[in-house]
């Protein structure tokens, strides 16, 4: 609709906190070597980000 301004930004927020990171680490730990290798083939070294300390001042 012409002139419409979305208010979606008021309700959405991307947050990568330590708790969310912990959930991702738990998922990674549940995967077997074959699944991890498949992830690595598709996404490269992305999984190394799971070992990065989250700086709460940057969030």
Residue 51: which pLDDT band, with cuts at 50, 70 and 90? confident
The domain total for the chain is: 1
Domain with 27, as residue range(s), is 8-51
58 part of a folded domain: no
Instruction: Tell me whether residue 20 is in a domain.
Output: yes
Report if residue 59 sits inside a domain. Answer: no
In this prediction the pTM is 0.51
CA-based nearest residue to 18, from 59, 48, 29: 59
42, two tokens: 């598709």
Res 14 pLDDT > 60: no
> 16: which residues sit within 8 A by CB, 6+ positions away?
54, 59
Q: Is residue 29 part of a domain?
A: yes
pLDDT for res 20 = 74
- 3 located within any domain: no
Higher confidence at residue 17 or residue 29? Answer: 29
Of the candidates 15, 14, 6, which has an alpha carbon nearest to the alpha carbon of residue 54? 15
pLDDT at residue 32, rounded to an integer? 94
Mean predicted confidence (pLDDT) in 48-52? 79
Question: HSE on the CB side for 49, CA within 13 Å?
Answer: 12
- Inside any domain, residue 22: yes
């Amino acid at each position: 609709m012409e002139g419409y301004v979305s208010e979606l930004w008021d309700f959405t927020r991307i947050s990568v906190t330590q708790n969310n990171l912990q959930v991702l680490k738990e998922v990674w730990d549940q995967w077997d070597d074959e699944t991890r290798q498949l992830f690595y083939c598709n996404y490269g070294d992305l999984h190394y980000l799971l070992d990065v300390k989250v700086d709460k001042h940057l969030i």
